[in-house]
Each structure stands twice: as structure tokens, then as C-alpha cells.
Structure 1
Amino acid sequence: MDEGAERGTTERVLTLLGLLQQRQVWTGPELAERLDVTPRTVRRDVERLRALGYPVHASQGVGGGYRLGPGQELPPLLLDDEEAIATAVSLLAGAGGAVARAGDAALRALTKLDQVLPIRLRHEMRALAGSVESFSGGRTLVDPEVLMTLARACRDEVETGFDYPSGSEVRRRRVEPYRLIASDRRWYLLAYDLDRDDWRSFRVDRMTEVCSRTWHFRPRTAPDAAPYVQEGVASRVYPKQARFLVYAPNDIVREQIPASAAFVRPHGAEHCEVLSGAENLDFVLMHMAALGHDFEVLDPPELRSRCRALAERLLSAATTPDVS
């Protein structure tokens, strides 16, 4: 085999390993299609992974296929037991920490490690993780086990159930989990709600009795996860919503507004739209004015009269004579 062909084979085998880490079970034809090779080549590449120490299991029949399972030893990640436990606990801390955009990456890495972590080490990892605490930086802490259960369910595409508050009641929800989203303060699950026949986002810290089933589902066409959840958190959950056109670039305004307070999206190169919600839209107007940019109200139209009323009140305050 020449050097170029060998490099191509190595890259393909690494790609195969990445696919096996993404999902619980792949059929041979699915892998062949993803890798653009024949099923026979897939079988050869699986044997190459096994020769390297990766425990790739194969099963026949309905629901069968290739899966990457835990082995008697860690595969060639070249980590000993202590290093593997330390890595997993560090990832758990990162998943629950307050570092911007680090939580979701840590959770993705943790699910990959969990896929191949020997069972004897999982108990030690959980025991050690339970004794580790960190400053949350304002983030609502969630149970790492719940995060892992939901992350596995998203990865394996299996139905999940949990109890969730709805008004004054707590109801059982059945969902097809899609993505876990880390905001600046909380974790959310984007999932298809089977009882309501629509997409919903759920706060993970409000879930109880979380469990996943073995029933696999076919993924649906999903909304863009992070923007969908952010728009819901900042706008749809409130009884009143407003939309503004701001005369400033998207990147500048996005830095000024917390992700949980409003949803910002581009509107050309020099403008952006801001969507926000509140119990009283006067508060939203005041926050918009405090940004320091010119803006106009797009929705609802009646909010424009409130702008005029607030402007007159502020002008009156500025022109009131000094009575001291």
C-alpha cells in the first residue's frame, strides 16, 4: 500500500470511530453510505479498529448492527484508570460550570468517554464526582446523572420520560430528545413532545424521575436548536412579546444583551432585530433605550404609543424646574 492510500485508510478508520461514538447502533449499509465505501470495506475497517483494541460489537437481525461497547481495558486513548477517572470528573465539572460555551463541549466529550469507559470505573467516577463542588457563577446546577441520561438519549435516539411541572401540577412527559443546550445560566433540552405533537424546550433542573427507554425513534426535521431555545427563553415564555429593529450591527448588540434576556438576529450588515418578552413591555422599552442605539418598534404596533408616552414622561422629568 502506498503512502497516500495508507493515509486515506487511516482517515477513514478514524471517521468510522467517530461515527461509532456518535450513536449506539449503526447498520453496515448506513456506515457504508456515510463513508462512501462498500459494506465489505466497512467490515475490514471494523476489524482494523478491533485490532487496535476498540471493542466494536456486531449483531444480526432487526435492530442489529455495529456498536462501540465498553471493553475490559480502555482502548488506545492511552489513559490509565486514574487518568480516565480524573478526565471524566473534570468533564463533569466543566459540564456544570459557568465558563461560557464550555459546558456543552464538555458534555459531548463526556458522552464519548462514557461510551467506552469500563464499568468498574464508572462507579468510582460517580463517587468522586459526588464529592466535587464548584462555584456556579449564577448557573442553576443540575444532577450530572440526569445530564448524562439525557445526553445518551439524544445520542442513541431513544424515547425519554420525565416528570415536569405544568402550572400547579406535575405531569409525566414523553419526548424524543434532540439536543441539550447550555445557556448562560441553565441547561435546556430541545425535544419533540409526543403528547403535544410539537417541539418543546424543557429546563433540565426542573425535571424529576428522568429515564430513557429502549424504543428507538426516527429523527424528525428539527428546528435550529440553540436559536429556537434561546428565542423561547427570551420571548415565547412571557405573556407579552415585542420585536424591534435596531440601527446597530448584530455583533455589537448581541454583546450588550444577555442571551436569556432577548434574542438578537442579523437584519442586513448594519442593523439587527431584537425579540424580547416581559410581563410589562415598558421594562423592555427602557432596556432598549439604555442600549444607546436608535431603534424602532416592529411589533406590536400599539407599543409605539407607549414609546411616545415614556418619551414625554422622560422629557418632563428633564425639564422640571429645580425647587430646592
Structure 2
Amino acid sequence: MPHPAARVLGMLELLQSHHRLTGPDLAARLDVDERTVRRYAHTLVELGIPVLAARGRYGGYRLQPGYKLPPLMLTDDEAVAVVLGLVAAEQLGLGTAAPATGLAQAKIRRVLPAPLADRLDAVQETLGFSLRRRADSPRPATATLLALGAATRSRHRVSIGYRSWGGEPSQRDLDPYGLVFHSGRWYVTGHDHLRGEIRTFRLDRIGSVDVGTTTFSVPDGFDPVGHVTRSLAGVAYRWEVEVLLETELEQARRRVPPSVGELTATEDGILLRTRAEDLTGMAQLLAGLGWPFTVVRPDELRTAVTGYAALLAGYAQRPPRPVTPA
């Protein structure tokens, strides 16, 4: 059950977002009776917030016109949600400008009650993440993220200054279909008019964004997340790999994400199509899956699997040794 203070703040939020609300309206929204609404209004007045009440058919509660509320008022639950969200954003690499997340946390902490701030500090100091921000992930500019977000929502074409992985600059006209955060990096995907096809771009490589007036339509059923993960899996690598997995499609999908490769059900099993720079790593992946498999191509993968199997067999033949405590 919400704390009474949370409901008082909830009433304040409602009065901020509505010109006027009747007693029954507020009672229904706050799940209290009208007498309690009157008590909440009195509490707000005691806190220095000018809540005006009027009787009669057109009466109700409203804030005094022109009154400026403090910029931030959070309940305990809301404060915890915001702070933990900021911590997660920093750890996972969701943030943009490096100091922004830490500064936002510091500002929120300053306005929290001391006991709550201390307990939140304890959570932050003892919280661990199984996923962490990639050390090699540059942050995108805040202005870039906001401009692309606005253009994606309003469906306006943008002109972006882009730098390829090799450092080559280019200017692109892009219809942004969606923003995607994947594996520690931000991406935008959409129709690239320079190439005449749907392409994916890293936000940290975008130097400028100019939003134009030309609008566009997103293809029906287009899935930005699915497209980005598939396109990243299809990045050019040294080896084209096809392996037939002896398992069910649902099991394969649970273990092999779209960013690793494409899965297709066949009469003989699940065909995994992917690309790899290092076939030893692919051999390790296949061994870790634990399913019987058949290498379709390349033949060099058979050699890599055989070599990895020999390596594991060698480890298995090592005689046991006494373990000396450190």
C-alpha cells in the first residue's frame, strides 16, 4: 500500500498536469475517499503549495495560477528507480557524455533525505553487474542521440556526417527507422540514400546531424532491433561458415542470438550461417553448445574443430596434482 506521503505527492502531480480536478476525480485516481483528499490538500497548503479549493457544481481543486513548483519532487520509490536507472546506464554504456550520468546522480542525491541517500549509497557500493560497458566503446554525443531520436519519431530525413571504421568521412542522407542499443554500442538503422539500401550506422561515428523537412514512411513490419543484429552478424569476416546443428529451432534460438548468426530449420537439422575471423573461436562456440553438428563449410573449420578437440583431450590426460593453498 502506498505511503500517505506518496499519495500527497501523487495529488500534487495530478494538479500539475490538470487545470482543475474535482474531489471525486482525485479520490478515484488516488484510491482514497473525498475526506482524505481534503486532508491531502490541507497538507500541501501547509507545505507552502497554494492549492485552491472551490465549492459548487464547477468547483474542485487547482493550483494557484502562475505558481512555479520546485523542479524535482520524488517519492522514495521514484528516487530509487531513477538512481538505479542511472547506475545501470553507466555500467552498460547507455550514457552519452561521460560526466553526465555521475553529475545527475550527484544532483539527485543532494535532494534526497539523508537516510534514503545513505541506503542508496550502500546499494551502489555493493551492486555488481554480469554485463558491463565495453572498454572500447566510445560514447555518442548527446546532441546526436537526441536529434536522431526526434527525427526517427517524426520521420524526417536527416543528413549525417559519418566516419567509417577506417576513418573515411562521408555525408549521408538517411531516413532513420530506429535507434538500437546493442552490445555496448548505439546504432541507427534506416534507408541510406547514398547506397540506396537499408544500412546501419554507429552513433559514436556520426559527427553531425541536420534534420531536414522531407518526410518518409517506415516499411511495414520493419524491426530495427532484428535488422541491426542481423546486419552485425553479416559484417565481412575472413570465413563464411555453415554448420548443421542437431537440435530444435527453439533451443537453438535460446543459445545462439541473432548477432552470432542466422538460424534456418531444415529437414536434417538447424542450419547456422555466420561469419568468423577466427575458426578456433568458432570451434569453441560449437563445442560449448553441446549438440552434435556437421560442418558444411569451410573445410578449414573441420581442422580447427579437430585441433580444439585434441587440445581438450590433452588437458583431460593431465595427471592430477596436489593443490597447495595460496
Give yes or no for contact 2:180–2:186 (8 Å, CA) kept in 1.
yes
Q: Secondary structure in 1 aligned to 2:153?
A: helix
Structure with higher Rg: it is 2
Structure 2 CA distance, aligned partners of 1:175 and 1:91?
34
Letter in structure 1 aligned against 2:191: Y
Q: Percent identity?
A: 23
Q: Deviations over 1:192-228 (max 9, x none)?
A: 0011110001111221112322322243457432222
Q: Does 1:306 align with 2:300?
A: yes
Structure 1 CA distance, aligned partners of 2:84 and 2:197?
32
Structure 1 CA distance, aligned partners of 2:90 and 2:264?
29
CA 180–323 in structure 1, closer or farther in 2 if over 3 Å, else same: closer
Structure 2 CA distance, aligned partners of 1:178 and 1:315?
45
Q: Secondary structure in 2 aligned to 1:190?
A: strand
Give yes or no for contact 2:240–2:274 (8 Å, CA) kept in 1.
yes
Q: Structure 1 residue 264: deviation in Å?
A: 5.0
CA 241–92 in structure 1, closer or farther in 2 if over 3 Å, else same: farther
Give yes or no for contact 1:264–1:275 (8 Å, CA) kept in 2.
yes
Structure 1 CA distance, aligned partners of 2:302 and 2:235?
25
Q: Structure 1 residue 161: deviation in Å?
A: 1.9
Give yes or no for contact 2:283–2:305 (8 Å, CA) kept in 1.
no
Q: Does 1:263 align with 2:261?
A: yes
Q: Structure 1 residue 234: deviation in Å?
A: 2.1
Q: Deviations over 1:14-49 (max 9, x none)?
A: xxxxxxxxxxxxxxxxxxxxxxxxxxxxxxxxxxxx
Structure 1 CA distance, aligned partners of 2:86 and 2:268?
39
CA 82–244 in structure 1, closer or farther in 2 if over 3 Å, else same: same
2:186 alignment partner in structure 1: 187
Q: Does 1:82 align with 2:57?
A: no
**Correspondence for 2:103 among 122, 131, 139:** 131
TM-score scaled by structure 2?
0.52
Matches within 5 A, 1:1-324: 81-83=71-73, 93=86, 96-97=89-90, 131-132=103-104, 137-139=132-134, 140=137, 141-166=139-164, 167-220=166-219, 223-257=222-256, 260=259, 262-265=260-263, 267=265, 272-298=270-296, 301=297, 303=298, 305-313=299-307, 318=313
Structure 1 CA distance, aligned partners of 2:226 and 2:90?
21
Q: Deviations over 1:239-292 (max 9, x none)?
A: 4332333223445444545664x0354637995443332223343233222321
CA 184–285 in structure 1, closer or farther in 2 if over 3 Å, else same: same
